[in-house]
Structure 1
Amino acid sequence: MNHSNTLEADWLELFDNVPEATRGVLREVVRAHKESMADAFYARMLGDPDAHPFLTHEAVETRLRHSMQRWLETLFSCTDRAQFAVAMAIQRHVGEVHARIDLPVNIVARGARVLKAEIARHLLAAGLSGQALIDAVLYADNLMDLAFEEMSAAYVASHEHVARIDEAYRAFSFGQNLSLERERQRAALLDWENRFLHDMMTGSAGDPLPRLTESAFGLWLHHKATAIFEGAPELPAIRQAIRTIDDDLIPQCQAKLGGPERDTQRRLTKAVLSELGQLKFLLGTLFERFVELESGKDALTQLLNRRFLPAILSREADISRRQHKPFALLLLDVDHFKHINDQHGHEAGDRVLQHIASLILATVRAGDFVFRYGGEEFLALLVEVDLTHALRIAEKLRSRIESENVLLPNGASLKLTASIGVAVHDGHPDYQRLINRADEALYRAKQQGRNRCVVSDA
């Protein structure tokens, strides 16, 4: 049974063991006092030295108090599986946000204790007594624990993902050479192949044949490749190919080694080489994808790859929080890019993307970061700028794109325009919120006629 099913089963058992009348009283208590509960929660958190760096009075008043009230009402209003599923989806989202802002789990647990105490206090004043009061308090505590469990699971999964990306970014920073690693592993496979062929031709009955798992390549795959390429679709197929060779084909070869059945030996040898050929192909595909990331650059434009955007954004948000220096995002989309590809071909489209990339690099400063965000979208992270400065850079970039035609491979020139969304970091620790604001501004720029810069609403 997976985690979600276990959680739902625990909730159903909890739900069924508490009378509807008791659950109804609890539900109404939460609805009636959700504002005071949220107030008590944030009064404690704003005064907590551990939680204070993640909160501001403005954020609490304009957004977080209302979110907390909705969270309470949603969680304690569950009366069927569908509503519980919605409530748990909210817990996962909250956990992912906490992971992105690196909020310590102990702070969340501290806040949960505040809410539990507030709920118990209001239940005491709700007229419940005896077993009904005990049932209501225990139901509230257990339901909060289920919510926290789901939140924590999402936090851990998201935090581990961010940590892997951050580790990849550090590896990129220290100059890990995947191209060299690729050639080293190709050589290791060739070395094993030559040893296997030699032993098949010269071995006698009872001589051990080399196992791929125990080779230099097998050890690398088991200990290092998993860390470097975790999640890559080729890894399971490579592991399966090794199992086929070591657990199926090598024992058959071993049984026929040194015997008179030369045709059978040749057939088994070819089978091993065929499986090995497939493994080499998968390895090549695996490295091709990740070698592009090794330099941290997009292969076509030579801009930073968006894989490292979370790590860089997190660092800039931390610098901004500590040094009170704002930064901004420009999210740029080439106008009518699909039309360019359709009318002039994909080679022309590639030339356009390279042209735009060079203009962005020529416009921003050396300390800024420029990413190929995806397709015809680019993202520039402008460090230590306010809104006025960021908008000035965005408008300068938009003007340059409009005025400098791109020369196509066939010799023709093409006029371009671009739409740009601008968002300045407002102190919120979740970098995804800043990206979403820039994306919303870009959407409005395109809706308003393209070839313009639009600033995100706060």
Structure 2
Amino acid sequence: MSYSYESIDALFEWAPEGALALVKQEISQLVRRDKAVLADAFYDYMMQDPNASPFLSVKAVEARLKPGLQKWLERLLCHDSEAELQAVLAMQRHVGEVHARAEIPLQLVARGMRLLKREICSRIVAGRLGRSETLLAIMRVTHLIDVAFEEMSAAFEHSHEHEVRTDEAYRMSAGSGDLLLERERQTSALLDWESRLFRAMAMGLSLEGGTSLTSSAFGLWLNHKAALIFDNTRELPLIAECVARVDNAIFPEAVFARKKAPVPDDVRALIKAVTSEVEQIRFLLASMFERLTDLEVGRDVLTQLFNRRFLPTIMKREIELSRRKGTAFCVLLLDIDLFKQVNDRFGHESGDRVLQNVAGVLVGQVRASDFVFRYGGEEFLILLAEVDHIKACSVAEKIRRRIEASVTPLTDDQSVSVTASIGVAAHDGHPDFQHLVDRADKALYQAKAAGRNCTVLAES
């Protein structure tokens, strides 16, 4: 259900004329006056909860969480336009996604929401409103907080479900046997269907009652197994579109063509159309299997570094270890400077060699306890275990100098040298790993803006 400013006000249309406006004004004054006290009460309560305290730190609560809660209370309970309401609901959905990544149980949040409602409503009762206006104010505050929690919960469940489905897809694929063999089997099934269709067309056989691509061996596998194995991949819906075009347009046209005298140009056009769709399916199928094969072994094919897909699992574990053992860790986000110019000048094959060379430098400069990921394109992410920000910056500078001094040999006696910009961020106790990555990314952006080929430490 979607909520609007008007739909929420409509719930209280039974109130006497002018009462809702008076109640809104009273709630706004109360929240703006007591928001700091309410935030203190909320986090005092949560810090005493043994189930909630592992996700909180005194520093984070005072520096970030209390001010954030005050802002949230004011935005939610004092909004006076559609735009302000939608902004706070969007913020709730973001909070839900963050809580899902940090694996903060929803019941803890629900417990905190109950406390806030109790604290606010007790102040309303002690205020200056009459009996009917007090009831109206309590109902409005309760409803708005419930709406916010509903939006957050929906986002939490969606994000959590996606992670679970991804994990299940991986487990199913990893346990399903030889993926390369499965790829060849399904490619063969697709080509077999194409061959049967062309043979029937060449021999002038009737295609009525023939097998569509959807009901072929390949189509059945696509609908019943592929959707489970290749969960949420971009290629799967594209393959489904190709199959739909074949079955809804090309195949019926082929059936119709066999009912009349064959026209060579028509037959050639049909064969060309089928061939085009089948080739597209083969390309998408290969891409889909290749990605899953990479995931199965946990390595990027080009650099042999860890796959980015495993980053959440490893980061969550390091955050848990840091929380349990009290140890620090840091993230380095590295980007090769002006990498596009390498591809444009020397070609993508040479660009791949540069990526492989940089990957080798990174692996050679870290310890066995550290993790190196190909984060995407020419970006790399390094997780340094049990180091503080001083040591992390030292490692980053050593890596930067080694990359600058390294030479990548190319073909025809050519070689190329590159530099790198690095953003460093130390874990600050935030339970969401994306918060740490975002801080490193911001520091990397600052390094780029400072002229590239340098290291910048993220602000704490």
Q: Decide: shared fold, TM above 0.5.
A: yes
Higher mean C-alpha deviation, range 178-187 or range 128-137: 178-187
Amino acid at match of 1:73: E
Q: Return the match for 2:336 from 334, 337, 341.
A: 334
SS in 1 for 2:85: helix
Residue 141 (structure 2) aligns with: 140
The equivalent of 2:10 in structure 1 is: 13
- Give the 5 Å matches for 1:294-333: 294-296=293-295, 297-333=299-335
Q: CA deviation at 1:44?
A: 1.8
The answer to whether the 8 Å contact 2:370/2:385 transfers is: yes
Deviation for aligned residue 1:299: 3.9
Name the residue aligned to 2:430: 428
1: CA distance, partners of 2:410 / 2:250: 54
CA contact (8 A) 1:232 1:286 kept: no
User: 1:291 corresponds to which residue?
Assistant: 290
Query: Distance in 2 between the 1:360 and 1:223 partners?
Result: 42
Q: 1:281: Cα distance to partner?
A: 1.6
Identity %: 45
Mapped to 2, the partners of 1:139 and 1:378 lie a distance apart of: 49
Amino acid at match of 1:215: S
Q: State the secondary structure of the residue aligned to 2:223.
A: helix
Other structure's SS at 1:378 match:
strand
| Contact 2:200–2:207 under 8 Å retained in 1 | no
In the aligned structure 1, how far is the partner of 2:208 from the partner of 2:351?
59
In 1, the alpha carbon distance for the partners of 2:253 and 2:450 equals 70
Aligned to 1:371: 373
Which residue type is aligned with residue 410 of structure 2? L
Unaligned 5+ segments in structure 2 are none
Give the partner amino acid of 2:8: W
Contact (CA 8 Å) 2:335, 2:420: kept in 1 or not?
yes
Amino acid corresponding to residue 304 of structure 2 in structure 1: Q
CA distance in 2: counterparts of 1:48 and 1:397, whole angstroms: 43
Question: Does 2:80 match 1:79?
Answer: yes
> What displacement does 1:122 show?
0.7
TM-score (norm 2): 0.85
The 8 Å contact of residues 100 and 430 in structure 1, kept in 2 or not, is answered as yes
Q: Are 1:181 and 2:178 an aligned pair? A: no
Q: Calculate the aligned-residue CA RMSD, in Å.
A: 3.4
Query: In the TM superposition, what are the counterparts of 1:5-154 in structure 2 within 5 Å?
Result: 6=3, 10-14=7-11, 19-154=20-155
**Cα pair 1:347 1:409 within 8 Å, conserved:** no
Question: Per the alignment, in what secondary structure is the counterpart of residue 368 of structure 2?
Answer: coil
2:243, 2:453 → 1: CA distance? 54
Distance 1:59 1:450 in 2: 31
Q: Which runs of 5+ in 1 are unaligned?
A: none
Over 3 Å counting, the alpha-carbon distance change for 1:8 and 1:69 in structure 2 is same
AA aligned opposite 2:286:
F
SS at match of 1:367: coil
In structure 2, give the amino acid aligned to 1:311.
T
More displaced, 140-149 or 212-221?
A: 212-221
Secondary structure in 2 matching 1:401: helix
Aligned 1:382-421 pairs, distance under 5 A: 382-421=384-423
Q: 1:268 to 1:54 in 2, by over 3 A?
A: farther
Question: Kindly tell me: are residues 416 and 176 of structure 1, through their superposed partners in 2, closer, same or farther at Cα, counting changes over 3 Å?
Answer: farther
Instruction: Call closer, same or farther: CA 1:169–1:71 in 2, change over 3 Å.
Output: same
Q: Which moved more, 1:174-183 or 1:209-218?
A: 174-183
The 1:390–1:206 alpha-carbon spacing in structure 2 relative to 1, beyond 3 Å, is closer
Residue range with higher mean Cα deviation, 153-162 or 431-440: 153-162
Query: Structure 2 counterpart of 1:101, which letter?
Result: A
Moved more, 186-195 or 378-387: 186-195
Matched, 1:263 2:265: no
Cα offsets for 1:82-124 (capped at 9, x unmatched): 1111111211111111111011112111111111111100101
Deviation at 1:8, TM superposition (A): 5.5
DSSP 3-state at the match of 1:213: coil
Q: How does 1:236-251 map to 2 (within 5 A)?
A: 236-243=237-244, 245-246=246-247
Assess if the C-alpha contact under 8 Å between 1:30 and 1:76 holds in 2.
Answer: yes
Native 8 Å contact 2:4 2:85 kept in 1? no
For these two proteins, the number of residue pairs brought into alignment is 453
Taking a change above 3 Å as real, the CA distance of residues 145 and 283 of structure 1, as seen in their structure-2 partners, is farther
Displacement of 1:437 in angstroms is: 1.7
